Structure 1
Amino acid sequence: MSLPNIWHHRKVADTSAKGCEICFKPSTSVLITPDKQDFFYVCPAHLKDRGFCSPIIDHDAIAAKKKKEMDEEVERLKREYEEKQRKKKEKETDKEKEKDKDKEKDKNDSKEKDEDKGERKDTTSDDKESKSKDKSQAEVEEEPRVFALQRVFYQRRLDRKRQAEIAKRNRERLNNPNFFPSVPKDLP
């Protein structure tokens, strides 16, 4: 039984940290096969080392992600443009109202405008906070999650798996009483 050379990067809890397969330092990063047959702990620094493993890049997923980001950007720009157009119309109507109304009503309008501007400032600050959160999430997701081990390390994993199977088979044989030869029953 051979393992595919596809390894998914997973994180475990800090309390479950075990020694890295390469440098034996405690690590919370685990490389695991898709069918969960084999896994081992590895430091995140080793994942960036091209001599240890190389990331498997899914070009279709990247293209879909870029398309989604572009669509979101277009929608955001459309909303901004529509809001600017709405503000222009409000200013034009406000100017017409100012001409028609008395000075007392102008004071009331200016107070209402100040309140409206305060509310608009709050929404823009919320937009900036949401954009910063989106950027931080995007940076976290930029790390590759699927790797292929280099030939030497992959062969070492296969050898270790094969040795474990052989040791298990030998233990089972030793526990079986029919494995050992029986004492001869005939006289010589």
Structure 2
Amino acid sequence: MASFPNTYTHRKVADTASKSCEICYKPSTSVLVTPENKDFFFVCPGHLKDRGFCSPVIDEAAVTAKKKKEMEAEVERVKQEFEEKQKKKKEKEKEKEKGKDKDKSESKKDGDEDEKSEEKKKADSTVITSTEEEPRVFALKRAFYQQRLDKKRNTEIAKRNRERLQNPNLFPQVPKGLP
């Protein structure tokens, strides 16, 4: 009887493959699976938020990598904005040198303001989409983990007993000799 680690990965299944939650028996499409698929069970997403049932396992390396990626994206965005501003300044200086009409420059400024507002909206939308996502790896509390181990152990024992009953050598033989 091999035990399995107390790390469960949260996965979703299709609506047609939903089964009852292990705790409340309501239909659920969320499954907790151990590495190498040694154990799995269906659970409601609400139970995953319950601190008495399980706690999320936070991968520090992944969190730092994600923060670093977000910072690099932010730096790149700021660099692009700065370069665009520098280009616009150069264009304005060229226009002033050429002595263009004021009406054209005012309409150009209005267009620049519209572009800036659109860029801000895009930046805001990227911030909203990169909100905190739900954790995917969980560790069950001791009582629930022990319950899973006991259930797995009992199923293995029942399987072994069924195999023994199928074996004809398990039962004693009728004596063949005279007493």
- 2:111 corresponds in structure 1 to 117
SS at 1:183 equivalent: coil
Q: Quickly say closer, same or farther: Cα 1:54–1:92, change in 2 above 3 A.
A: same
- 1:74 corresponds in structure 2 to 75
- Tell me how far apart the structure 1 counterparts of residues 37 and 120 of structure 2 sit (CA, whole Å): 42
SS at 1:54 equivalent: strand
1:56-106 CA distances to partner (integer Å, 9 max, x unpaired)?
11112111111111111111101101111111111111122235xxxxxx5
Given the alignment of the two structures, is residue 160 of structure 1 paired with residue 151 of structure 2, yes or no?
A: yes
Q: Counterpart of 2:53 in structure 1: which amino acid?
A: F
- 2:32 corresponds in structure 1 to 31
- Tell me how far apart the structure 2 counterparts of residues 133 and 71 of structure 1 sit (CA, whole Å): 14
1:22-47 CA distances to partner (integer Å, 9 max, x unpaired)?
00011111000011111000011110
Q: Where in structure 2 are the equivalents of 1:89-108 lying within 5 Å? A: 89-98=90-99, 106=101
- Tell me how far apart the structure 2 counterparts of residues 157 and 184 of structure 1 sit (CA, whole Å): 45
In the TM superposition, residue 134 of structure 1 has moved relative to its aligned partner by 5.9
Q: Quickly say closer, same or farther: Cα 1:130–1:16, change in 2 above 3 A.
A: farther
For the aligned residue pairs, the C-alpha RMSD in angstroms reads 2.5
Q: Where in structure 2 are the equivalents of 1:111-150 lying within 5 Å? A: 117=111, 121=114, 125=118, 128-129=121-122, 132=125, 135-136=128-129, 138-139=130-131, 142-150=133-141
Q: Quickly say closer, same or farther: Cα 1:175–1:158, change in 2 above 3 A.
A: same
- Tell me how far apart the structure 1 counterparts of residues 118 and 173 of structure 2 sit (CA, whole Å): 86
- Tell me how far apart the structure 1 counterparts of residues 122 and 66 of structure 2 sit (CA, whole Å): 22
SS at 2:148 equivalent: helix
- Tell me how far apart the structure 2 counterparts of residues 27 and 53 of structure 1 sit (CA, whole Å): 17
Q: 123-132 or 166-175: which moved more?
A: 123-132
Identity %: 65
Q: Counterpart of 2:138 in structure 1: which amino acid?
A: F
SS at 1:35 equivalent: helix
- Tell me how far apart the structure 1 counterparts of residues 7 and 162 of structure 2 sit (CA, whole Å): 30
- Tell me how far apart the structure 1 counterparts of residues 64 and 45 of structure 2 sit (CA, whole Å): 26
- Tell me how far apart the structure 1 counterparts of residues 140 and 10 of structure 2 sit (CA, whole Å): 12
- Tell me how far apart the structure 2 counterparts of residues 171 and 122 of structure 1 sit (CA, whole Å): 74
**What residue ranges of structure 1 are gaps of 5+ in the alignment?**
100-105
- 1:44 corresponds in structure 2 to 45
- 1:83 corresponds in structure 2 to 84
TM-score normalized with structure 2 length: 0.87
- Tell me how far apart the structure 2 counterparts of residues 94 and 163 of structure 1 sit (CA, whole Å): 84
Q: Counterpart of 2:147 in structure 1: which amino acid?
A: R
Given the alignment of the two structures, is residue 180 of structure 1 paired with residue 171 of structure 2, yes or no?
A: yes
- 2:4 corresponds in structure 1 to 3
